[in-house]
A and B are shown apart, each in its own frame.
Chain A
Amino acid sequence: MTGRHVVVVGAGPAGLAAADAALAAGAEVTLIDSAERPGGQYHRMLPEAYEATDPAVLQHGYRSFDRRSRRVLGHPRCSWWAESSVWALERRDAEADGPPLVHVLRGTPRRRHVLEPDALVLAVGAHDRVLPFPGWDLPGVYTAGAAQALAKGERLVVGDRVVVAGTGPFLLPVATSLLDAGSRVLAVLEAGRPGSVARGWLRRPWELTSQLGKSGELLSYSAALGRHRVSYRMGTAVVEARGDGRVEEIVSARVRADWSVVPGTERVIAVDALCVGHGFTPQLELPVAAGCELRRGPVGSTAGSAAGSPADPFVAVDDDQRTSRPGVYAAGEITGVAGAPAARAEGGVAGWIAAGGDPGSRALVTLRRNRDQGRAFAARLALAHPVGRAWPGWLRPDTVICRCEETTYAAVCRSAGDPTSTEPRVAKLATRAGLGPCQARVCGPTVAELRRSTDTGPGPHHRPVAEPIRLGELARPPEPPPGPATPSTHPDSPTEESTS
């Protein structure tokens, strides 16, 4: 029995595995997710009202996920807080060593709670990154993740003549879900050149075989694309979307390794929806609020070449998934984009250690090995699918960069060249980029990259309020959480799961 209270934020593959391992180590667990059902982005579940008789057909590895989520949610020492958002983490005074206070809004109507855990596991995942291009703000242009979430999560397809574009293997499950749901996918356009994709994937092939679940999945997606005769074109990007009030056609173009457009290769394709994704952005608000150190991600460029953009930061963790803040652990996409199997392995390590489990436990050896293989996979992903440095060549002076405030490319360039606005806060005020409702979640990485040469201060993730809260909710005093459960006296070992 460890008797520790571990709060896990996020019930995706990483958070569920963390809760599972922390329970196995004997801790009392509060598992918090803003969604109604567990699963996160990967194991997105259909609404209960659909009463689906065969939800397993919609995703890989459903059965082991289902087993795990029943085990965790039904565990006597687990409190499952669905529809609950962590909106702030409050660091205790400098002398106190423990994790921060966890501020939660729970249920509808939302009630305010403050938790004081012995350990905190952050597993809040990532969201799509989309590079801007003229017309990307037209209705009918979706992130690849949005199309996936709608198809997998509520059986809605975004259109009947769809192009899926951007970079990375995630485009494949998105196209497959659209096909399965009866859409016509006209093409999957991968901006990466065959050379760099192949170099990234085929270097050290034994690392791929260790991610058999993942490569099996990729093969099944490729087979689906083949069956439906969807053309998969590499070295091709969508550089413009056009339409009157909604997307009606797109312009694709061949791009070089640095993603500069090859003149004369533009092609117009009539569509009713466009799905775009250029990788993922980790949701770093909570880790930053907790004071966790960040690190640069695996460098997205082939060594020696200037093809890749500088990589986004992620949460820095040690071999035990510890962050730089005492009592705070991180797992899943916020530590690196490596897919669900790696997220599960990281969660298993984080939960076990956070609960005070024996760091020398045998089962940890396997989890750590899976985790390390996941990290190798992440590095290859970054290597195979770098964002080319020349993408701003797609932009026009009037292209919207910040969707909320409609800041244009010209305005961002002007402020980047203005010596009085090198400080990011000043630049924000001058251009209004990042000041709208989304608070730079979407444009942050783009603006940071466009201004990379001048910025020095805190990045786009420095946001004291992670989720919007109404003033009335803030004014009410927090309510006490339900009393602690009785911890059991029999620690097991952290459970592993197959990577399928």
Chain B
Amino acid sequence: MSPRLVPVGSDPAGRRDLPLTITVDGEPLTGVAGQSLAGVLLAAGRPAWRRAPSGAPRGVFCGIGVCFDCLVTVNDERDVRACRRRARDGDAVTTQSRAPGDEQDGRPAR
């Protein structure tokens, strides 16, 4: 099975789930308010969304903003770390690739 949210009813932390929808490369995905973009993608059954230079798939690795494996473009803002950005209702996410031949190169500006 894929990563998933702890069911809200059995979560001892007692949380509420306020649904939201984002699009990923045009496809709608639902999540809950407060989740990171990475969390929404993972819980939607997508363990990977970016491509390394060889085309190898990449998703979350470090989970805290260190490895840059999870970069996405959000509402035209490039190189956003999906593990560090909270999903907002209506976010338009596009995936990034560093594979040659793919349009984009996920190198952060520095």
A interface residue numbers (CB < 8 A to B):
34, 36, 41, 46-55, 57-58, 127-128, 137-143, 145-150, 154-161, 180-182, 245-246, 272-273, 403-406, 436-438, 441-442, 465, 468-471
**7 closest pairs, A vs B, by CB?**
A146-B63, A47-B34, A49-B34, A53-B14, A437-B68, A139-B48, A50-B15
**Are the CB atoms of B18 and A49 closer together than 8 Å?**
yes
Q: Which of B79, B84, B109 has the most CB of A within 10 A?
A: B109
Between-chain CB contacts (< 8 Å), 12 pairs? A52-B15, A53-B13, A127-B66, A137-B52, A150-B3, A150-B42, A155-B13, A156-B3, A157-B6, A438-B66, A442-B67, A469-B109
**Are the CB atoms of A46 and B58 closer together than 8 Å?**
no
Please tell me which one of the listed residues B2, B62, B108 contacts residue A442 in the complex, with CB atoms under 8 A apart. Answer: B62
Q: Which of A141, A246, A404 has the most CB of B within 10 A?
A: A404
**Dominant secondary structure at the A interface:** loop
**Are the CB atoms of A51 and B69 closer together than 8 Å?**
no
Chain B residue numbers with a CB within 8 Å of A406 are 52-54, 56
Cα distance, A171 to B70, chains bound together (Å) = 23
Please tell me which one of the listed residues B14, B42, B52, B64 contacts residue A54 in the complex, with CB atoms under 8 A apart. Answer: B14
B interface residue numbers (CB < 8 A to A):
1-7, 10-16, 18, 32-36, 38-39, 42-43, 47-48, 52-54, 56-69, 71, 79, 83-84, 86, 106-110
**Are the CB atoms of A155 and B5 closer together than 8 Å?**
yes
Question: Are A154 and B79 CB-contacts (below 8 A) given A139-B48, A159-B2?
Answer: no
Cα distance, A93 to B38, chains bound together (Å) = 43
**Are the CB atoms of A469 and B68 closer together than 8 Å?**
no
Question: Are A273 and B3 CB-contacts (below 8 A) given A46-B15, A51-B15, A182-B10?
Answer: yes
CB distance from B110 to the nearest CB of A (A): 5
**Dominant secondary structure at the B interface:** loop
Chain A residue numbers with a CB within 8 Å of B16 are 50-51
Q: Which of B2, B39, B47, B83 has the most CB of A within 10 A?
A: B47
**Are the CB atoms of A47 and B63 closer together than 8 Å?**
no
CB distance from B85 to the nearest CB of A (A): 9
Chain A residue numbers with a CB within 8 Å of B67 are 143, 403, 438, 441-442
**Are the CB atoms of B39 and A154 closer together than 8 Å?**
yes
CB distance from A207 to the nearest CB of B (A): 30
**Are the CB atoms of B62 and A127 closer together than 8 Å?**
yes
**Are the CB atoms of B47 and A246 closer together than 8 Å?**
yes
Chain A residue numbers with a CB within 8 Å of B56 are 137, 406
**Are the CB atoms of B61 and A150 closer together than 8 Å?**
no
Please tell me which one of the listed residues B1, B35, B106 contacts residue A154 in the complex, with CB atoms under 8 A apart. Answer: B35
Chain A residue numbers with a CB within 8 Å of B69 are 403, 438
Q: Who on chain B is nearest to A128 by CB?
A: B62
**Are the CB atoms of B39 and A156 closer together than 8 Å?**
yes
Question: Are A442 and B66 CB-contacts (below 8 A) given A156-B5, A159-B2, A437-B106?
Answer: yes
Cα distance, A273 to B63, chains bound together (Å) = 14
Chain A residue numbers with a CB within 8 Å of B33 are 47, 49-50
Q: Who on chain A is nearest to B64 by CB?
A: A149
**Are the CB atoms of B34 and A142 closer together than 8 Å?**
no
**Are the CB atoms of A154 and B36 closer together than 8 Å?**
yes
Cα distance, A180 to B6, chains bound together (Å) = 9
**Are the CB atoms of B14 and A156 closer together than 8 Å?**
no
